[in-house]
């Protein structure tokens, strides 16, 4: 039973990987970027768990900066994805411009909040 | 507490004496010690010869023997000033004035040289000060060298040219081209004219002297007066550049007047009360704190004392407080202004009356006895009818020698406020607690107000507190003090003051607690009782703690007024405030540095992972535009983003929000422009690619 489970899982991962290879490289870059942001946020949370939340606004701005960027990147991915029929008419350049603008606004707030 | 009250009463007494009596004390030892303090030489000499003269002259007048020895250093300065060819007449005048006191050894040839120089200066003089210094110097040389043949060649001509500077109101001008007339100049001119007369070879025309005497009379018309009988001269036009208060003006006039009357033969009929008033003015100043003022005061008084017109005599009292109980005598002194002995005279008490009733005299026409040992005039005994209180005594000084009446001025009448004090007897003092409805005495205690009392009473709100005492003066009549207060002080420091009323001889107060409960704020408990009886003429004014009364008052109803908050102690109001200790928030616990740096390194790990991932994906920049215009825009776009991020970092580090937003608006417009250009270029390129 257990054997079959691990095999199933292996098969599942195999199919996932093969499907992901087919993803366009631009989306892969975005995925990588999202992972980078999320891991940075996780490290900050761990740091806070270890030493306490004293400069709480700094912690919040750090984490929110990462999470915010990640969310924006995900949004970008949704809009850039060609499979996504909903945004078919939206050129990826326009989506990238939105991404840049949103990031700049987000980071203005973050910097203001950083203290 | 009682001591402080006594001190307070003495203070009130002192103030009221100063206020009421216009007695002028002659120069005394306090002036002598002040003179030694004011005129202190530095390194054996004074700053200038003028100051040296002022100091030496003051010491000479006051007869100070322990004066600082400045003769060696000063004599050198004097002979240097006299033999120097560059000395002005003023320098010579100051040097000669100092020499007149110090009597330094000066060669006769030196004097010869100065005389010819000064004679030339006199004939060439145009302003009043030129005349004053050169003629004054010549007069001083004549005194110091006993040169009988030192004369002014054209005395009448000089007299006339000085007189030409005089004004119609008796004042003088400093020079012919200066239209402003001055009272100080009048004094200077009179002194100069006196010098001219004394240096004249022949008698100066009597009519001219008469004209100048007329000028003096006119000058005295402009004299001003204080309410206390002091007369003074003041400059009408205030000159900003020169120090000329009433003191220097008056002293200049006094100097000129006395100098002129010494040399002028004719008699000057000046009103004696004005001369006396001038003396009072100089004495009324007290002890000036400035050495110049001090010199002016003492010098003028010395001239007044030795003048030929009229010598003022000053009536003064060693004390204006006389105790009836101690049988003190009222003493009066009559001195000249500098405190020396007066000629034989009689002091008469014209009348004395109480300050409250001016019309009824208590004493009339009594002659004071003379005590030759102490040089005082005293009133033997006050009549029995005179009781404690404040009185005005009117004195008159009568000279024995009627011939001297012209020489001395004593003033007509001198009014002096005298306090007759005494020990007031306090009798029949008792305190009692009465029942309200019947008035029956529940507890009664005798009090000895002069001594210690420790009464302990208790009462409730249906009872009354009664206090009574009698005050009798040494002469046996009833005495009504200025202050008679009863004070109740609760344990919580809430105080209530009640005025003790009097009915005839008896002072009494009844406190009906039923009517007072509200005023006492329904505060039950121990009340200290304090009695104050005080008056300026009462020698045994008292502030006595009688004891306490334990009050049992009903509970306060809801709407009863609360006791007022305690008044702030007036002494603490101006004292230092309590120190404010600032409490700062304790700094938060910080993690160790190493840990923080470790996590800083850890933060970099995902970034490195990101870069590695990019490499593995085989990311390239092949899509970067190759033609020059889009490439420029692409670079500018990235530079723009970097600039905005850098601005954010600066915002974090030092800029404020407004500066940031201002810069950001410019950067944003730039970024929008280049972003739009590059992205639309990319979009058109990709659509071309698609369609192509």
pLDDT at B19 over 50: no
> What value does the mean pLDDT take over residues A27-35?
92
**Which whole-number Å values give the CA distances from B349 to B86, B104, B363, B380, in the listed order?**
62, 52, 8, 12
| Smallest Cα distance from B658 to chain A, Å | 12
Beta strands B425-435 and B463-472 are antiparallel
Chain A residues inside the 8 Å CB shell of B660: 108
pLDDT in tens, A73-101: 999 999 988 888 888 888 888 899 999 99
- Among the partner-chain residues B603, B610, B686, the one whose CB lies closest to the CB of A33 is B610
Higher-confidence position of A65 and B240: A65
Q: Is A59 on the interface with B (CB under 8 A)?
A: no
Structure tokens at B461: 């709100």
Chain B residues inside the 8 Å CB shell of A43: 599, 602-603, 605-606
Confidence of residue B311 (pLDDT cuts 50, 70, 90): confident
B657 and A25 in contact by Cβ < 8 A? no
Q: Does residue A88 fall inside a structural domain?
A: yes
> What value does the mean pLDDT take over residues B626-641?
90
> What value does the mean pLDDT take over residues B549-556?
86
The predicted pLDDT at position B336 comes to 86
CA-based nearest residue to B469, from B450, B452, B487, B482: B450
The predicted pLDDT at position A102 comes to 94
b/e sequence B229-239, b meaning 16+ C-beta within 10 Å? bbbbbebeeee
**Least confident stretch, B132-146, B152-166, B552-566:** B552-566
Q: Please compute, for residue A5, the number of CA atoms within 13 A of its CA located in the half-sphere on the CB side.
A: 2
* CB B530 within 8 Å of CB B515: no
Q: Which fold has domain B24-313?
A: Glycosyltransferase (1.50.10)
pLDDT at A45 over 80: yes
Chain B residues inside the 8 Å CB shell of A27: none
Higher-confidence position of B557 and B5: B557
Report the percentage of chain B scoring pLDDT > 70: 93
The predicted pLDDT at position B240 comes to 56
Confidence of residue B167 (pLDDT cuts 50, 70, 90): confident
pLDDT in tens, B464-523: 888 888 888 888 888 888 888 999 988 888 888 998 888 777 888 888 888 888 888 888
The predicted pLDDT at position B674 comes to 92
Beta strands B361-367 and B495-499 are unpaired
Q: Does residue A13 fall inside a structural domain?
A: no
Confidence of residue B114 (pLDDT cuts 50, 70, 90): confident
Structural domain including A43 reads 24-114
Best A111, A112, A113, A115 member to test B by mutation, with max B CBs in 10 Å, is A111
pLDDT in tens, B607-623: 999 999 999 888 888 87
Structure tokens at B528: 């200290």
The predicted pLDDT at position B243 comes to 57
Q: Does residue A17 fall inside a structural domain?
A: no
Q: Contacts for B450-455 with beta carbons within 8 Å, 24 or more apart?
A: B450/B426, B450/B540, B450/B542, B453/B544, B453/B545, B453/B546, B453/B547, B454/B547, B455/B431, B455/B529, B455/B546, B455/B547, B455/B548
pLDDT in tens, B174-205: 888 877 888 888 888 999 988 888 888 777 77
Cα B550 → chain centroid: 49
The residue ranges of DSSP E strands in B400-535, in sequence order, are 408-409, 414-421, 425-435, 441-446, 455-460, 463-472, 483-490, 495-499, 501-503, 506-512, 525-534
The predicted pLDDT at position B566 comes to 67
* CB B382 within 8 Å of CB B324: yes
CA-based nearest residue to B425, from B507, B365, B527, B352: B507
| Smallest Cα distance from A32 to chain B, Å | 6
Q: Does residue A103 fall inside a structural domain?
A: yes
pLDDT in tens, B289-310: 888 889 999 999 998 888 777 7
Q: Does residue A97 fall inside a structural domain?
A: yes
Q: Does residue A16 fall inside a structural domain?
A: no
Q: Is B368 exposed, middle or buried (0-12, 13-18, 19+ CB in 10 A)?
A: buried
CA-based nearest residue to B215, from B258, B265, B163: B163
pLDDT at B17 over 50: no
Q: Does residue A11 fall inside a structural domain?
A: no
| Smallest Cα distance from B583 to chain A, Å | 20
| Smallest Cα distance from B588 to chain A, Å | 7
The number of folded domains in chain A is 1
* CB B471 within 8 Å of CB B494: no
Identify the three-state secondary structure at position B266.
coil
> What value does the mean pLDDT take over residues B30-47?
84
Provide the mean pLDDT of chain B.
83
Higher-confidence position of B4 and A38: A38
The predicted pLDDT at position B199 comes to 85
With residues binned 3-state (H G I as helix, E B as strand, rest as coil), the percentages for chain B, rounded to 5, are 40, 20, 35
Give the Cα separation of B235 and A75 in Å (integer).
97
Q: Which fold has domain B317-421?
A: Immunoglobulin-like (2.60.40)
Q: Which one of 3.90.320, 2.40.10, 2.60.40, 3.30.70 gives the CATH number of domain B425-556? A: 2.60.40
Q: Does residue A14 fall inside a structural domain?
A: no
The predicted pLDDT at position B10 comes to 47
pLDDT at B680 over 80: yes
**Beta partners for residue B456, in sequence order:** B548
Give the Cα separation of B470 and B376 in Å (integer).
38
* ipTM of predicted complex: 0.89
């Amino acid at each position: 039973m257990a054997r079959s489970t691990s095999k199933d899982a292996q098969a599942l991962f195999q199919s996932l990987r093969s499907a992901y290879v087919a993803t366009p490289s631009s989306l892969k870059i975005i995925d990588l970027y999202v992972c980078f942001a999320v891991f940075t946020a996780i490290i900050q949370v761990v740091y806070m768990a270890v030493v306490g939340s004293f400069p709480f606004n700094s912690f919040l701005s750090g984490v929110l900066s990462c999470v915010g960027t990640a969310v924006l990147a995900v949004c970008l991915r949704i809009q850039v994805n060609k499979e996504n029929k909903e945004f078919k008419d939206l050129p990826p350049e326009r989506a990238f411009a939105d991404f840049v603008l949103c990031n700049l606004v987000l980071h203005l707030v973050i910097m203001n909040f950083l203290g | 507490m009682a001591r402080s009250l006594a001190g307070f009463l003495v203070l009130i007494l002192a103030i009221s004496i100063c206020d009421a009596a216009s007695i002028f004390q002659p120069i005394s030892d306090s002036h002598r010690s002040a003179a030694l303090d004011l005129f202190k030489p530095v390194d054996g000499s004074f700053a200038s010869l003028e100051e040296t003269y002022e100091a030496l002259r003051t010491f000479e007048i006051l007869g100070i023997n322990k004066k600082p020895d400045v003769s060696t250093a000063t004599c050198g300065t004097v002979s240097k000033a006299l033999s120097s060819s560059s000395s002005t007449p003023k320098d010579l005048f100051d040097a000669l004035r100092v020499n007149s006191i110090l009597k330094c050894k000066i060669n006769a040839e030196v004097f010869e040289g100065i005389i010819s120089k000064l004679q030339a200066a006199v004939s060439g003089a145009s302003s009043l000060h030129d005349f004053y210094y050169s003629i004054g110097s010549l007069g001083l040389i004549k005194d110091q060298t006993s040169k009988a043949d030192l004369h002014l060649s054209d005395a009448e001509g000089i007299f006339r040219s000085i007189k030409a500077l005089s004004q119609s109101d008796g004042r003088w001008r400093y020079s012919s081209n200066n239209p402003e007339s001055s009272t100080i100049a009048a004094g200077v001119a009179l002194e100069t004219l006196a010098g001219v007369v004394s240096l004249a070879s022949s008698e100066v025309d009597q009519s001219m002297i008469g004209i100048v005497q007329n000028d003096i009379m006119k000058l005295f018309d402009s004299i001003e007066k204080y309410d206390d009988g002091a007369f003074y001269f003041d400059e009408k036009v205030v000159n900003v550049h020169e120090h000329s208060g009433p003191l220097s003006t008056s002293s200049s006039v006094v100097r000129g007047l006395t100098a002129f009357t010494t040399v002028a033969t004719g008699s000057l009929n000046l009103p004696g009360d004005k001369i006396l008033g001038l003396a009072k003015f100089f004495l009324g100043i007290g002890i000036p704190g400035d050495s110049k003022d001090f010199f002016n005061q003492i010098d003028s008084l010395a001239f007044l004392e030795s003048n030929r017109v009229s010598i003022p005599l000053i009536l003064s009292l060693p004390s204006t407080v006389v105790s009836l109980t101690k049988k003190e005598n009222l003493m009066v002194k009559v001195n000249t202004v500098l405190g020396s002995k007066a000629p034989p005279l009689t002091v008469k008490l014209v009348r004395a009356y109480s300050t409250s009733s001016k019309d009824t005299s208590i004493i009339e026409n009594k002659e004071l006895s003379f005590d030759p040992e102490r040089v005082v005039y005293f009133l033997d005994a006050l009549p029995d009818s005179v009781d404690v209180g404040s009185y005005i005594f009117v004195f008159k000084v009568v000279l024995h020698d009627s011939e001297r009446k012209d020489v001395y001025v004593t003033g007509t009448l001198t009014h002096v406020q005298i306090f007759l004090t005494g020990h007031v007897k306090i009798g029949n003092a008792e305190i009692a607690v009465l029942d309200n409805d019947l008035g029956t005495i529940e507890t009664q205690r005798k009090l000895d107000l002069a001594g210690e009392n420790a009464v302990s009473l208790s009462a409730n709100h249906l009872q009354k507190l009664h206090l009574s005492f009698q005050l009798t003066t040494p002469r046996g009549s009833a005495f009504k003090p200025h202050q008679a207060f009863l004070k109740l002080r609760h344990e919580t420091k809430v105080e209530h003051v009640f005025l003790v009323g009097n009915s005839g001889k008896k002072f009494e107060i009844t406190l009906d607690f039923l009517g007072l409960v509200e005023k006492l704020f329904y505060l039950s408990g121990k009340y200290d009782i304090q009695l104050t009886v005080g008056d300026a003429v009462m020698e045994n004014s008292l502030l006595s703690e009688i004891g306490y009364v334990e009050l049992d008052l009903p509970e306060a109803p809801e709407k009863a007024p609360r006791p007022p908050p305690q008044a702030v102690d007036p002494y603490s109001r101006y004292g230092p405030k309590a120190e404010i200790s600032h409490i700062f928030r304790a700094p938060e616990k910080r993690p160790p540095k190493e840990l923080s740096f470790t996590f800083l390194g850890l933060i970099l790990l995902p970034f490195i992972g990101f870069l590695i991932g990019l490499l593995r994906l085989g990311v390239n920049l092949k899509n970067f535009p190759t033609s020059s215009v889009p490439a420029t825009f692409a670079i500018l776009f990235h530079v723009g983003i970097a600039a905005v991020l850098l601005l954010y970092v600066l915002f974090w580090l030092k800029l404020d929000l407004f500066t940031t937003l201002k810069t950001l608006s410019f950067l944003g417009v730039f970024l929008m422009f280049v972003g739009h250009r590059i992205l639309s270029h990319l979009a058109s390129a990709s659509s071309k690619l698609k369609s192509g």
